[in-house]
Chains A and B, each alone.
Chain A
Amino acid sequence: MKKYKHYVFALLGVSLLLAGCGNQTGKSSSNGALSSSAAEKVYVAPGEQDEYYAFLSGGYSGNLTVYGLPSGRMFKEIPVFSQFPTSGYGYSEETKPMLNTSFGFVPWDDAHHPDISQTNGELDGRWIFINGNNTPRIARISLSTFETEEIIEVPNSAGNHSSSFITENTEYVVAGTRFSVPVPQRDMPINEYKGNFKGALSFISVAPENGRLNLEFQVLMPGFNYDLSHPGRGKSHGWFFFTTYNTEEANSLMEVNSSQNDKDFIAAINWKKIEEYVKNGGGTKMPANYAHNVYDEHTHTGTSTMKKEVLTVDPTEVPGAVFFLPTPKSPHGCDVDPTGQYIIGNGKLSADLTVHSFDKMIAAIEGEKFDGEAYGIPILKFEDVLAGTVKSGGLGPLHTEFDANGNAYTTFFISSEVVKWKLGTWEVIDRKPTFYSVGHLMIPGGNSRKPFGKYVVAMNKITKDRYLPTGPEMEHSAQIYDISGEKMELIYDFPTHGEPHYAAGCPAELLAPKSKKIYRLSENKHEFATISPNDARVERNGKEVHIYMSTIRSHFTPDNIEGIKVGDKVYFHITNHEQDFDVPHGFSIIGQNTSELLVMPGQTKTSIWEPKKVGVWPFYCTDFCSALHQEMQGYVRVSPANSNIELSWSLGE
């Protein structure tokens, strides 16, 4: 009875304390006051700018979307793996090569995990990378033009999911395969998977001066599913960590058959060791066929090159380079804290998080305390590497991000919540529901040595949301929480585009000042550019007709063209002569079997038109460019295939 009394007093004390706090900060507990304070936190007044950029992957839209935090306003959709009629990306002759693969033209992908380039483990804002999951590819996007500059296909991979994460000086962008496959691909029975399939982990170097990607080597791992990965940082720089599932190597009814082992692995890869091995001539060159597509900002043109060889590394031939860390319950997210000390395995079929210690891992490796091996790769003892377990009380942990104060934030898909916990003590500090069924979360810089722990964005996996209904198909929803205090506070709900798998964010001042406004016409090196309106012309080469056309407010030069015939293949090469911010011109012509073009100032883009009918056909500018935009139009006269009408073109005659 005495004990109870103490408890009662303690509780009373706490509640008094809380009430006191409430009064001191002048906050009442009524909903109205709370929501108005949330409104103040997310309100970015007209004319003001957001504090952070957020880049959300578009999932099955294949693209990347740019948002502001804390407003949740969407600024732009950057086309990456998908055709985008808004700008003509993937439709224009210049950008079609960007979507070339060893399977031919693939106009779509499933874009997953964006990651911003880093220097010394801190965001540097040069580029952002994102992976295409379905037809394995990695893209590099410029953060001064906000356009896709490069896409490299990843051979021997399938389900490019544990990608595209970068090392702390952007030495490599890493791409792991979720689905193991025969390497090289061959005709074989599916049920001979076990022991025969391989999981390729690809290390793609990034040239510091221009970002050019090159597939340096692939580590051919046992045929597990390599689900997610993150780089070591600080003390663990030089290592890369991959979660695995299906260490059972099942090939059918995976939801049951690959969930049998109590523990799967986190694969720890010492890439510096493998890099050295490769530099000393190690590895095996294997014939391959994969596309490398590069867009040049000055020629405004993409080129696709097929690469024919890849260097593969058998991990058992590089002693001390690869180890397995047993991790319970089919871990999904694999996250490394800002100090590089803790490696978190989010056991998606459990309630708990497993945290491994980098120091303990090194000690166990040095002490050679192995618990057997898998395909020649040493397995460390679970107890020897375990730093701690977070007993959260939630269900289905997926992903963890970090703030700068030693706290971690983990999403729980099944129990639909974000849980804040303390690194080192593993105690749960706070939990807040999400709406609904959260997948990834993002803190700007939360995947670097220097997080900016002011907001966390939780991105939901199911499309049921709290907005006005729009039929069976909806966009996914996201929540913004203020994490500047001890407790998280939900401050905003906003819809996203596609299905965001992960995001990357950074302070606005890192990118805003260097965002390009125009392309310089004087630097336009496009093969078919029209640099002066005096050079505007039409040239015939057999059935091919090239129209060199320039635009300026508000006319095309030339705007009357005759001598085109049915059956011709007409190339419209449009050069925008504007050098003023935000004056693009569009181009479209009746019956075009492709999209319009949206041509930025100083840029050249090309669209093909194959006229099928005799007549006089109009073309026009699709972007409202000036008060005389409606007048920005022209005509093409199309004559019968056998006509003798000479080519002619004019403006203002």
Chain B
Amino acid sequence: MKKASILMIVGPLFLLGLYAFPLWNIMLGAPQYPEPLGMNIHIDGIRDVNEFDLQNIDGLNHYIGMRKLPKPEEMWEFSTFPIIIGGMVFLGVLIGLLGYFKKVSYIWFMGWFVVMSILGVLGMYDFNAWMIDYGTNLDPNAIMKLSNPDGTPMSYKPPLFGHAKMLNFDVTSLPSTGAWMMFTGMMLILAAFFMGRKTSKKTKTL
């Protein structure tokens, strides 16, 4: 249980990477952009990959009537996410410590994992909802109003995961360093749960 608890203490710390590294990355390449434009989505805001990328993405998007990319103060998520992540790190480390001193059982590890997974799925759902709104809620006076072959208005929602062709742009959307660190942390906690269960079974059989 000691080893498992140490993992439970270390695991949540990986989430701290989200304060330094982007959660998600979206790149937009096109023939006239051999060096693609890109945005890094951090838990506290959207940032340039290269300087002026956001400004230039906004500049291009105005033709098709998309709104400007949100500033951190324009979305509640960017002030709330850092608090939630901080809280979850604190809780996780606390559970790990309590586990170490045998105050709580390994079941709590799974509890933390489940809560974090639910929060993660909710976060993804929220992110996707924003992208749908961003890509479809277009200015009716847009310079270019394009339609799909079936006559419905074309929308510009970036893919949540993977690659999509949007007009002349190749858009790639993938998890970034922060997300991979979070994933690693959560795997450690999952491992902590299984280790904890194994050792507790042994203790029981003894």
Taking beta carbons and an 8 Å cutoff, which residues of A are in contact with B? 518, 552-553, 578-581, 626-628
* Residue in B35, B52, B63, B143 whose beta carbon sits within 8 Å of that of A579 in the complex: B52
* Residue in B52, B63, B143, B144 whose beta carbon sits within 8 Å of that of A580 in the complex: B52
Instruction: Determine if A628 and B56 form an interchain contact, defined as CB atoms under 8 angstroms apart.
Output: no
* Residue in B51, B52, B55, B143 whose beta carbon sits within 8 Å of that of A628 in the complex: B143
Chain B residues 135-172 with CB under 8 Å of chain A are 143-144
**Least Cβ distance of A585 to chain B in Å?**
13
**Least Cβ distance of A580 to chain B in Å?**
4
In the assembled complex, the Cα of A626 lies from the Cα of B32 at a distance in Å of 11
Give 7 nearest A-B pairs by CB, closest first.
A579-B52, A580-B56, A579-B55, A553-B59, A628-B143, A580-B52, A580-B59
Specify which chain A residues have a CB less than 8 angstroms from the CB of B51 in the assembled complex. Answer: 579
Specify which chain B residues have a CB less than 8 angstroms from the CB of A626 in the assembled complex. Answer: 63
Instruction: Determine if B143 and A552 form an interchain contact, defined as CB atoms under 8 angstroms apart.
Output: no
Specify which chain A residues have a CB less than 8 angstroms from the CB of B52 in the assembled complex. Answer: 518, 579-580
Specify which chain B residues have a CB less than 8 angstroms from the CB of A518 in the assembled complex. Answer: 52
* Residue in A552, A581, A627 whose beta carbon sits within 8 Å of that of B59 in the complex: A552
Q: Knowing that A518-B52, A628-B63 are A-B contacts, what are 15 other residue pairs whose CB atoms are under 8 Å apart, sorted by A's residue number? A: A552-B59, A578-B59, A579-B51, A579-B52, A579-B55, A579-B56, A580-B52, A580-B55, A580-B56, A580-B59, A581-B35, A626-B63, A627-B63, A627-B144, A628-B143
In the assembled complex, the Cα of A504 lies from the Cα of B144 at a distance in Å of 48
Specify which chain B residues have a CB less than 8 angstroms from the CB of A579 in the assembled complex. Answer: 51-52, 55-56
Nearest CB in chain B to that of A628: its residue: B143
In the assembled complex, the Cα of A626 lies from the Cα of B61 at a distance in Å of 13
Nearest CB in chain B to that of A581: its residue: B35
Taking beta carbons and an 8 Å cutoff, which residues of B are in contact with A? 35, 51-52, 55-56, 59, 63, 143-144
**Least Cβ distance of B8 to chain A in Å?**
47
18 contacts across the A-B interface (CB closer than 8 A): A518-B52, A552-B59, A553-B59, A578-B59, A579-B51, A579-B52, A579-B55, A579-B56, A580-B52, A580-B55, A580-B56, A580-B59, A581-B35, A626-B63, A627-B63, A627-B144, A628-B63, A628-B143
In the assembled complex, the Cα of A552 lies from the Cα of B62 at a distance in Å of 12
Specify which chain B residues have a CB less than 8 angstroms from the CB of A580 in the assembled complex. Answer: 52, 55-56, 59
Specify which chain B residues have a CB less than 8 angstroms from the CB of A553 in the assembled complex. Answer: 59
Specify which chain A residues have a CB less than 8 angstroms from the CB of B63 in the assembled complex. Answer: 626-628
**Least Cβ distance of B60 to chain A in Å?**
8
**Least Cβ distance of B16 to chain A in Å?**
32
**Least Cβ distance of B167 to chain A in Å?**
11
In the assembled complex, the Cα of A340 lies from the Cα of B59 at a distance in Å of 56
Specify which chain A residues have a CB less than 8 angstroms from the CB of B59 in the assembled complex. Answer: 552-553, 578, 580
**Residue picked from A518, A552, A580, A627, most chain B C-beta under 10 Å:** A580
**Least Cβ distance of B52 to chain A in Å?**
4
In the assembled complex, the Cα of A581 lies from the Cα of B32 at a distance in Å of 10
Specify which chain B residues have a CB less than 8 angstroms from the CB of A628 in the assembled complex. Answer: 63, 143
**Residue picked from B35, B51, B52, most chain A C-beta under 10 Å:** B52
In the assembled complex, the Cα of A163 lies from the Cα of B186 at a distance in Å of 69
Nearest CB in chain A to that of B37: its residue: A580
In the assembled complex, the Cα of A202 lies from the Cα of B63 at a distance in Å of 57
In the assembled complex, the Cα of A587 lies from the Cα of B51 at a distance in Å of 27
**Least Cβ distance of B63 to chain A in Å?**
7
**Least Cβ distance of A633 to chain B in Å?**
15
In the assembled complex, the Cα of A579 lies from the Cα of B59 at a distance in Å of 10
Nearest CB in chain B to that of A47: its residue: B34
Specify which chain B residues have a CB less than 8 angstroms from the CB of A627 in the assembled complex. Answer: 63, 144
In the assembled complex, the Cα of A553 lies from the Cα of B59 at a distance in Å of 8
In the assembled complex, the Cα of A104 lies from the Cα of B97 at a distance in Å of 83
In the assembled complex, the Cα of A581 lies from the Cα of B63 at a distance in Å of 19
In the assembled complex, the Cα of A581 lies from the Cα of B35 at a distance in Å of 10
Specify which chain B residues have a CB less than 8 angstroms from the CB of A552 in the assembled complex. Answer: 59
Specify which chain A residues have a CB less than 8 angstroms from the CB of B143 in the assembled complex. Answer: 628
**Least Cβ distance of A520 to chain B in Å?**
9
In the assembled complex, the Cα of A628 lies from the Cα of B59 at a distance in Å of 13
**Residue picked from B51, B59, B144, most chain A C-beta under 10 Å:** B59
**Least Cβ distance of B171 to chain A in Å?**
18
**Least Cβ distance of A638 to chain B in Å?**
30
In the assembled complex, the Cα of A580 lies from the Cα of B33 at a distance in Å of 10
**Least Cβ distance of B5 to chain A in Å?**
50
Specify which chain A residues have a CB less than 8 angstroms from the CB of B56 in the assembled complex. Answer: 579-580
In the assembled complex, the Cα of A579 lies from the Cα of B53 at a distance in Å of 9
In the assembled complex, the Cα of A580 lies from the Cα of B60 at a distance in Å of 11
In the assembled complex, the Cα of A578 lies from the Cα of B55 at a distance in Å of 9
**Least Cβ distance of A505 to chain B in Å?**
26
**Least Cβ distance of B47 to chain A in Å?**
15
